[in-house]
Chain A
Amino acid sequence: EAQVTQNPRYLITVTGKKLTVTCSQNMNHEYMSWYRQDPGLGLRQIYYSMNVEVTDKGDVPEGYKVSRKEKRNFPLILESPSPNQTSLYFCATQFGRGTSPLHFGNGTRLTVT
């Protein structure tokens, strides 16, 4: 079954404590991205990756890092989380660009206190 798997589903942490949200896909898609979803703001792209070792900033990259060392994994790293990063995060993959739909993970709800 085609899947985008995010872990953890829920995470509560404290300001400044580094964390990583993992994303893994089994569809062999080259394109992967991270979004955050906030009430009234919709989905905003954080980072994306066109292929292994190729990453680029989205609309709201500040405070986040990503890496793409292998095709199937695209972790999101918060080196020093702050309360304004409390949000619902989604990983998404896509075959090609533009005309292909995004496939989303089930989300990670992060709370930073």
Chain B
Amino acid sequence: AQSVTQPDIHITVSEGASLELRCNYSYGATPYLFWYVQSPGQGLQLLLKYFSGDTLVQGIKGFEAEFKRSQSSFNLRKPSVHWSDAAEYFCAVGVGSGNTPLVFGKGTRLSVIA
């Protein structure tokens, strides 16, 4: 079965600084990978997804993520963080067939300071 690890529970960055949120997955084949963001009081919103092809994917709100098969990673990046990016971020992996649901990581909470 697939699994997802987000090693960082909480990260604090200064506004304008760069950001990288880590995600590692475990799955035998090429997975389908997602990043979601959850703002306070809201549901989860899809930031970006990777299925195949170019390993660097662009998402909404200026986010990007890079799939690295050799490291089983799908890290989320943003070059310059805005205060409105403070939220919880979830990485998820799907296997694309059958009845297997998406598996979510436990999330990384991002705080942004002035």
Q: Which residues of chain A in 24-65 are interfacial with respect to chain B, using CB atoms and an 8 Å cutoff?
A: 33, 40-43, 45, 48, 50, 56, 58
B70 contacts the other chain (CB 8 A): no
What residues of chain B have their CB less than 8 Å away from a CB belonging to chain A? 9, 32, 34, 36, 41-46, 49, 51, 90, 92, 94-102, 104-107
In contact, A58 and B106 (Cβ under 8 angstroms): no
A75 contacts the other chain (CB 8 A): no
Closest chain A residue to B44, Cβ basis: A104
Residues in A with CB closer than 8 Å to B41 are 106-107
In contact, B32 and A99 (Cβ under 8 angstroms): yes
In contact, A48 and B90 (Cβ under 8 angstroms): no
Interface on chain A toward B: helix, strand, loop, or mixed SS?
strand
In the assembled complex, the Cα of A105 lies from the Cα of B41 at a distance in Å of 11
Interface size class of chain A, counting residues whose CB lies under 8 Å from the partner chain: 20 to 34
B63 to chain A, nearest CB (A): 14
A106 to chain B, nearest CB (A): 5
Residues in A with CB closer than 8 Å to B92 are 102
In the assembled complex, the Cα of A26 lies from the Cα of B100 at a distance in Å of 24
In the assembled complex, the Cα of A80 lies from the Cα of B77 at a distance in Å of 44
In contact, B43 and A98 (Cβ under 8 angstroms): no
Pick 21 A–B contacts, CB within 8 A, sort by A.
A4-B43, A40-B9, A41-B106, A42-B104, A43-B90, A48-B101, A50-B99, A90-B43, A92-B44, A97-B96, A97-B98, A97-B100, A98-B95, A99-B94, A101-B46, A102-B36, A102-B44, A104-B43, A105-B43, A106-B42, A107-B41
In the assembled complex, the Cα of A57 lies from the Cα of B98 at a distance in Å of 14
- Count of CB-CB pairs between chains A and B under 8 Å: 59
Closest chain A residue to B104, Cβ basis: A43
In contact, A40 and B106 (Cβ under 8 angstroms): yes
In the assembled complex, the Cα of A105 lies from the Cα of B34 at a distance in Å of 17
A107 to chain B, nearest CB (A): 6
Residues in A with CB closer than 8 Å to B45 are 104
In contact, B101 and A42 (Cβ under 8 angstroms): no
Residues in A with CB closer than 8 Å to B46 are 101-103
